[in-house]
Amino acid sequence: MDNYESLISRISSISGVSVEDIDRKIEAKRAKLSGLVSKEGAAQIVASELGINFDQERLKIAEIVHGMRRVNVIGKVLDVFPIRQYNKNGREGKVCNFLIADESSNARVVLWDNHHIGLFEDKKLKAEDVIEISNANVRNGEIHLTSFSDIKKSKEVLANVVIEKVFSGRKIKDIRQGERFKTRAVIVQIFDPKYFNVCEKCGKKAVEGVCSGEHGKVGVKKRALLSVVLDDGSDSIRGVLFSEQIKRLGLSEDDVFSLDKFQVKKNELLGEEKFFCGNVKLNTMFNTIEMNVEDVIDIDAQKLIQELERR
């Protein structure tokens, strides 16, 4: 069950209205608004009309969807990533990312407020802690906290949490922004790689040998970004791959950084069918959704035949 279906199930359970009737209300709401609202947005409007206030509801991680505001969740901290400095459009600050999980799913949490970040810097919150998050927003499948949000340690115990990344199996035509999904697709186009440099100390982008973080003039490492077009028969989508994912596609560093070798591998890969797992995000430049590929899995034909026979 994906996040949208989990959300509809929750609305049905609280309101006593059948899932089918709620789905009809959502489609009617979208039609009334000329399709200008997403299914997730329409679902939240329908929930409100049914007297359900998610501001006061604690949701499971599997029930959160892109665009939600004032979300309340509880989860166990799986991993905390290094705190990063940023300087964007003249604004400087820090950002902290970590993963939380409950018994339904897991998600990345992003902290922007210095007070919240300080809780992790001072080890008042850390990996393995169970935490409560209140009044957060959901963007692209991530839980974002602002200065109006709250985060604190919980006394609740969560034992059987979902550690493995959760991907919904669905067709490209059915995917939505912010969703993690897995699809079996054919590579129909591969674009030439784009190259950039990163700081050899922290891995952040380096421009003209200067780290965008705190290391100043440094040695750099060359990295690549690869774009492909994937088609699963229902629709196509642009997929973006970085270092490890490029390797899983079957390209070595020599293949990526030598355009002659790249052209040979490109011709070999075109038309190949694989499983692709990733997160759906909005490309703001082109206003289209694309897939940040997190994993590439070769198809085991024998296993696939067995699965089809069991259906």
Query: What are the pLDDT digits (tens) for 109-161?
Result: 999 999 999 999 999 999 999 999 999 999 878 899 999 999 999 999 998 99
The Cα 187–Cα 168 span in angstroms is: 20
Whether domain 168-310 has CATH 2.40.50.140: the reply is yes
CA-based nearest residue to 120, from 75, 163, 81 = 81
Average pLDDT over residues 191-213: 86
The Cα 156–Cα 110 span in angstroms is: 22
Average pLDDT over residues 1-27: 86
User: In the chain, what are the domain boundaries?
Assistant: 1-52, 65-166, 168-310
The region of weakest confidence among 20-24, 37-41, 241-245 is 37-41
Residue 311 has pLDDT above 80, yes or no: no
Cβ atoms 257, 265 nearer than 8 A: no
pLDDT of 93: 86
Average pLDDT over residues 6-25: 90
When pLDDT is cut at 50, 70 and 90, the band that residue 307 belongs to is low
Tell me whether domains 65-166 and 168-310 share a fold. Answer: yes
CATH of 65-166, picked from 3.40.50.620, 2.40.50.140, 3.40.50.1360, 1.10.10.10, is 2.40.50.140
pLDDT of 1: 46
User: What is this structure's pTM?
Assistant: 0.67
Residues in Cβ contact with 284 at an 8 Å cutoff, skipping those fewer than 6 apart: none
